[in-house]
Structure 1
Amino acid sequence: MAGCASGLTVDAVRAAKLIRCQFPPLAALPVTPLGEGGDHRAFAVGQRWVFRFPKHSGGGQGLLREARLLTWLAPHLPLPVPVPVFVGQPDRDFPEAFTGALRLTGRSGLETPLLKWEEVGRSVGRFLRVLHAQGAGTARALGLTLDFDPTYSDWQEAALEDLEALSRQWPEVQSWREVLNQTPTSQPGQLAVIHGDLAAEHVFLSDRAEITGILDWADAAIGDPARDLAGLIHWGGRAMLDAALAEYGKTEAGVIERAAWYALCRALEDMAFGLRWDRPTYVEGGKRALTILHMEFADTLTKPR
């Protein structure tokens, strides 16, 4: 495979070379950029496939872990997930693994006006009920790691940094500092297999507002189930959260408090990401989430300690 490419920077031309080198049956298909996040670049290969390439050293191991996890989870979950069919192996031409999966239909919830909050919320609630019930022991054996700090300082420190960066342009965000300084008072009774980054951009929807897939499992972990519920608050507020919980079933005391606090951290993170990378949809999504939290969860976030 010598001469395919080198280094970690991948554009469409280089992605095509790497795919052609390891998967000759796909060589004739066009390769076009789909977008990128903090960790991966994604490319459409023909009309059927999506390939993801890591942007950072060590990212290939994360994609391999994700591939193992999704292969295990997919038969149990009530919604589609992008199980990798192609796994590109690291070699001297590209030092990290990369993966290719069937392209799920629909559009990201971040880009889709959503009117059926309750219907989508119920579907996600059923999905999370099944996901969070999966065996943590099996997930650990597949490489999933523990991601929970009982002091919440990891989330708090990152959110305060985002707050400082954002306040230069939007001084009003400083009003959230007191809430961030008060970390959640509760602890999860049991950690679970979580998506870890469940929010509008990772839920694909059809034109009829039916969920067609849950994407991007790079942050999946053994962690606090409230983190996944936070994505519902961030996206659709109280209406979506309540609809999800009606299907999810019984929750422990404190889970809504933690979910709202995580949603605040996530809103600031999205705004900072959008500002840094000129992604206005993320900025607007974060602003909308702050409005939701102020209007619908203020009592939860500021209750007496």
Structure 2
Amino acid sequence: MTQAPTPTADTVRRLVRSLLGERAEDDVRPVAPGAGPATWWVGDRHVLRLAPDRGAAVRQRRELRLRELVRPYVSVAVPTSVAHGEWAPGLTYTLDAGVPAGPGEGHDVSALGEADLAAMLAGLREVPVRQAETLGVPRSAPRTLETLRQSAERAVRHLAEADEFDAARPERLTRAATAQLGVQPGAPVLVHHGLAGEHLVVGADGRVRGVLGWTEAVLGDPAEDIAALALCVGSPAAVRAATLAGYGARPCLRGLWLARCDALVHLAEALAGRSAEPVSVPPLLPPLLPPLLPPLLRTRLRRAWEPILLERVTELREDGTDDTPP
């Protein structure tokens, strides 16, 4: 198998000049030191993303088509490709226009920003599943909350010993609750599957301006996007946005507990030195100082465990309905 060439600054400049001609800027630089040689800033207005292998090329081709499918359904900006093609045999590139603003974890989301998130979640639910499947978007089975609960309980013990978490907190995910918060029968929806702060573009006014990073989108459980928002903007804001989008108590609470369990497990793994994934850097945002992993995970843990009124006033019935006061 032929090894893919390693892109350099000269590689990027030559490619950009062939695409933009006299408008091309010579200022090219990697988005971040940890991002590898595949994502480059071109001036301050464009980002060039180079697929490093055939698998990434397949996902990038799918992402380009998916963004066009999603765009009419969501009110926030979706990245636009100025040019795309192959930078090496079988390896694709896309030159995207940058989305101005900052990462979601850099600004608080305002009430209007929550409405933006609600419109996005509602729009994703309206994307035709059959069309997404035709583009190659895979289906993803819902996670088993009971398995995650057991992992979270082990993480709580380690975090309590390290004085990172109060094991006596009143909120607790019980075995009975995991059964009630299982996924209800119904058609899957398009799930972004990566609504972390690096993929939410938030303005200084708290409005959500855009959503990046559609490579990992799947057809599956919408509670995953609610969970990701809880880690990024806090549980109250995430649940309010999901409620505005038309989701009932069950998927909102399921998303809440997915986020809480994930936050516990990820922080425990990071403190134990077993974290496999570094914090990613936004592909369409200016380079950031690389954050320390445990502090960021502590922030996400705090956000996920913010109390919400919904879990105190909701009674989930066995028939799958929600007995929630208005």
TM-score using structure 2 length: 0.72
Q: In 2, distance between residues paired with 1:48 and 1:128? A: 27
- SS of 1:213's partner is strand
Unaligned runs of 5+ in 1: 1-5
Alignment of 1:134-283 (within 5 A): 134-149=127-142, 151=144, 156=148, 172=164, 184-185=178-179, 186-188=182-184, 189-249=186-246, 251-252=247-248, 254-264=250-260, 266-267=262-263, 268-269=265-266, 272=275, 273-274=277-278, 279-280=290-291, 282-283=293-294
- SS of 1:219's partner is coil
- SS of 2:32's partner is strand
CA 1:263–1:38: 2 relative to 1, 3 Å:
farther
Q: In 2, distance between residues paired with 1:298 and 1:56? A: 47
Q: Name 1:3's counterpart in structure 2.
A: none
Cα deviation digits, residues 37-81 of structure 1 (max 9, x gap): 779842221232111123455111111100000012113321101
How far apart are 1:187 and its partner, in Å?
0.8
How far apart are 1:85 and its partner, in Å?
2.5
- SS of 2:48's partner is strand
Unaligned runs of 5+ in 2: 282-288, 317-326
Contact 1:274 1:283 in 2 (8 A): no
State yes or no: 1:53 paired with 2:64: no
Q: In 2, distance between residues paired with 1:290 and 1:29? A: 41
Contact 2:191 2:220 in 1 (8 A): yes
Question: Which structure's CA Rg is the greater one?
Answer: 2
Contact 1:86 1:99 in 2 (8 A): yes
State yes or no: 1:125 paired with 2:130: no
- Give the root-mean-square deviation of aligned CA atoms: 4.1
How far apart are 1:184 and its partner, in Å?
3.9
Cα deviation digits, residues 224-258 of structure 1 (max 9, x gap): 11111112211232331243134212x24521232
Q: Name 1:72's counterpart in structure 2.
A: 69
Contact 2:260 2:305 in 1 (8 A): no
Q: In 2, distance between residues paired with 1:209 and 1:52? A: 28
CA 1:125–1:39: 2 relative to 1, 3 Å:
farther
CA 1:247–1:149: 2 relative to 1, 3 Å:
closer
Which residue identity is paired with 2:303?
I
